[in-house]
Structure 1
Amino acid sequence: MDTGLQGKTVLVTGAASGIGRATALAFAREGAHLRLIDIDAAGLRETEASASAAGVSVTIAVADLSTAQGVEKGIADVFSGENGKLDVLVNNVGIVDAQPFDSLTDAHWQRTFDVNFLSNIRMTRALLPRLRESRGSIVNNTSDLARQPETIPADYAALKTALVSVTKSLARAEAPHVRVNAVAPGPVWSPLWSRPGGFADTLSEVHGMPPRQAVDHEMKLRQLPLERMGEPEEVADIIVFLASERASFVTSSVWGVDGGSIRSLF
């Protein structure tokens, strides 16, 4: 299938690991040139090396996108101070500190707001002029928890819900020149889950089990039809499709990549 992404320029945030890295590599395989931003310098360099092997140009920037200054720096660095062309923006950066509701302090809520929501708003606002010029597209990484919240983590789910709303508002505002869509991954085995202190470790404490056993137990509690966690590459494939010419009549959509976790009709 020809995606029409050959020679396009794609910016991916949170590209050092997990879904972000898988997405960068998927675009590289389609022949797209990459602009990658993350706070993790070592991970970002690993992504750069893997993507460059596909024969595309890759520019990286280490930046903290939770601040306005970090967003400005990241954009300036990946475009080398030039007003370079941009065809696709993938807002992927995100964190989760999976705590029970009564353990979430104001600082937890503010951090989640800054990283998972406001970074997206700032990146999108700054790059919209380039995307309008190229008649490009935006893909936001949300979550199945935006449409079907669980008890943990409430702050993460709330801000992902807000991002779904922004996706739909922006899709209407920018039509017909810029398409705006979102993916809503379910449980995906990425560093958000597997890293020390990540979601798996939190569930281990909650359920009193070893981390991976606790994750499997959580999937049973959620009655996930496919009975397994997803892989980052499975989300990346949908992101590439939504950004491609194969999805030219798709905008304002929220594509579940969730193993069937969402039960509602809408």
Structure 2
Amino acid sequence: MKTNLAGKIVLITGAAKGIGRATALAFAAEGSQLALLDWDEGALAELKHEAEALGATVAVNKADLSSLSGVNDGIDSVLTIYGGKVDVLVNNVGSGAVRMFDDLTDEDWEATMQLNFMSYVRACRKILPMMRAQQSGVIINNASDLARQPEPCPLDYSASKAAVLAVTKGLARSEGPHIRVNAVAPGPIWTPFWTKSGGFAETMAKVHGMEPQAAVEHEMSLRQLPLNRLGTPEEVANVIVFMASDLASFVTSSVWGVDGGSIRSVI
């Protein structure tokens, strides 16, 4: 089956590492042209080199996606070489830490919502006029299984991702029939999101009183994942590429779980 993504211009936020990086390389392998934003300038440069080795045209820019100016200026900078055109937007940027509800301050909630939710709102607001003008486009929002099945912590992260699903559903209805809007909802994926200093593995170790790897394995046993492992960034990227392609031309307003079976609900 052919994706027909060759030559398509794909904008990815939070592209430098983890799911964003795997997604960028997957689109590059399909012949897409890339516009990539992230705060990590060094990792962006490495990704640019790898994607260009696959034959892709790649524009990158360092951007603080937790602010309005960061989103707007970042998008303008990477779309310049493409004449302000974009075919696919992948909202992927996000961060979180394992904190109990009583430990979350107003500032914590605000920071989480600005990066994990408002960056998506702002990117969509910036991109939608372009897609409406060309009467075509695909938006894919990276949510989480915690948006549909929250755990006691991190509640701020879960709430931000639930808000992402609400915007996904609303925009899918308002922007049809020419623009498709969907979400991917990963479960636990072994990325720097988990492994970095201060990431989920380290903070989960403090919550469970274990070494990081043991704490992650313990958490997975509590969640009773049918596949009994963490996923890989590439496994999420494969679904994102499919949803962006013509193979999913009748798919909109959907939430695609890539979660190892963590969601038990029938809806």
TM-score when scaled to structure 1? 0.98
Q: Contact 2:76 / 2:84 at 8 angstroms: preserved in 1?
A: no
- Give runs of ≥4 in structure 1 deviating > 3 Å: none
Q: CA deviation at 1:208?
A: 1.1
For 1:46 and 1:185, locate their aligned partners in 2 and report how far apart those are by CA, in whole Å. Answer: 25
Q: Contact 1:90 / 1:140 at 8 angstroms: preserved in 2?
A: yes
Q: Does 1:177 align with 2:178?
A: yes
- Which of 149-158 and 131-140 deviates more? 131-140
Q: Contact 1:208 / 1:214 at 8 angstroms: preserved in 2?
A: yes
For 2:61 and 2:129, locate their aligned partners in 1 and report how far apart those are by CA, in whole Å. Answer: 21
TM-score when scaled to structure 2? 0.98
Q: CA deviation at 1:80?
A: 2.7
* Paired residue type of 1:243: A
Aligned partner of residue 10 in structure 1, secondary structure: strand
Q: CA 1:26–1:81 in 2, change beyond 3 Å: closer, same or farther? A: closer
| Residue ranges of structure 1 left out of the alignment (5+ in a row) | none
For 2:263 and 2:194, locate their aligned partners in 1 and report how far apart those are by CA, in whole Å. Answer: 20
Aligned counterpart, 1:111: 111
Provide Cα deviations, 1:126-180, integer angstroms capped at 9, x if missing partner: 1112222150100000000000000110000001001101100000000001000
For 2:76 and 2:82, locate their aligned partners in 1 and report how far apart those are by CA, in whole Å. Answer: 7
Q: CA RMSD in A?
A: 1.0
Q: CA deviation at 1:82?
A: 7.0
Q: CA deviation at 1:85?
A: 1.3
Q: CA deviation at 1:75?
A: 1.1
Aligned counterpart, 2:85: 85
| Residue ranges of structure 2 left out of the alignment (5+ in a row) | none
For 2:137 and 2:79, locate their aligned partners in 1 and report how far apart those are by CA, in whole Å. Answer: 17
Aligned counterpart, 1:144: 145
* Paired residue type of 2:18: G
Q: Contact 2:79 / 2:86 at 8 angstroms: preserved in 1?
A: no
Q: Contact 1:86 / 1:134 at 8 angstroms: preserved in 2?
A: no
- Which of 122-131 and 81-90 deviates more? 81-90
Provide Cα deviations, 1:194-218, integer angstroms capped at 9, x if missing partner: 1011000011011111101100000
Aligned length: 266
- Which of 71-80 and 206-215 deviates more? 71-80
For 2:188 and 2:181, locate their aligned partners in 1 and report how far apart those are by CA, in whole Å. Answer: 23
Q: 5 Å matches for 1:1-266?
A: 1-80=1-80, 83-132=83-132, 133-266=134-267
For 1:100 and 1:220, locate their aligned partners in 2 and report how far apart those are by CA, in whole Å. Answer: 20
For 1:62 and 1:74, locate their aligned partners in 2 and report how far apart those are by CA, in whole Å. Answer: 7
Q: CA deviation at 1:79?
A: 1.8
Provide Cα deviations, 1:44-92, integer angstroms capped at 9, x if missing partner: 1111111111111000010101101101110121023874211000000
Aligned partner of residue 80 in structure 2, secondary structure: coil
